[in-house]
Amino acid sequence: MKVRFWGVRGSIPAPGPHTLRYGGNTTCIEVRSDDGSLIILDAGTGIFPLAQELLKQMPVKANIFITHTHWDHIHGMPFFTPLYIPGNSVRIHGGYDVVSGRGIDQIMEVQLQYSYFPIREAEMKAGIEYETLSIGEPVNVGDATVTPLMLNHPVVDFGYRVDCHGKSVFFTGDHEPWLNIYTPEDESYGEFEQMVQMQQGHLDKALAGLDVLIADSSYTAAEYPAKIGWGHGTMEGNVGWGRRLGVKKLICTHHEPTRSDDDLERVFATALETTGYAPGRPGEPEILLAREGLELVL
Residue 31 contacts residue 2 (beta carbons within 8 Å):
yes
Residue 114: pLDDT band by 50, 70, 90 thresholds?
confident
Per-residue pLDDT tens for 238-280?
999 999 999 999 999 999 999 999 999 999 999 999 999 999 8
Residue 99: pLDDT band by 50, 70, 90 thresholds?
confident
The confidence score (pLDDT) of residue 97 equals 84
- Asked if the model's pLDDT at residue 102 lies above 90, the reply is no
Per-residue pLDDT tens for 26-37?
999 999 999 999
The confidence score (pLDDT) of residue 100 equals 82
Residue 246 contacts residue 286 (beta carbons within 8 Å):
no
Write the CATH number for 271. 3.60.15.10
The confidence score (pLDDT) of residue 121 equals 87
Selection from 152, 78, 182 nearest residue 120 by Cα: 78
> Residues 48-67: what's their mean pLDDT?
97
- Tell me phi and psi for residue 207, to 5 degrees: -105, 15
The confidence score (pLDDT) of residue 107 equals 83
Residue 109: pLDDT band by 50, 70, 90 thresholds?
confident
Number of domains in the chain: 1
Q: Please provide the average confidence, as pLDDT, over all residues in the chain.
A: 95
Question: Which residues share a beta bridge with 250?
Answer: 213, 287
The confidence score (pLDDT) of residue 23 equals 98
Structural domain including 119 reads 2-297
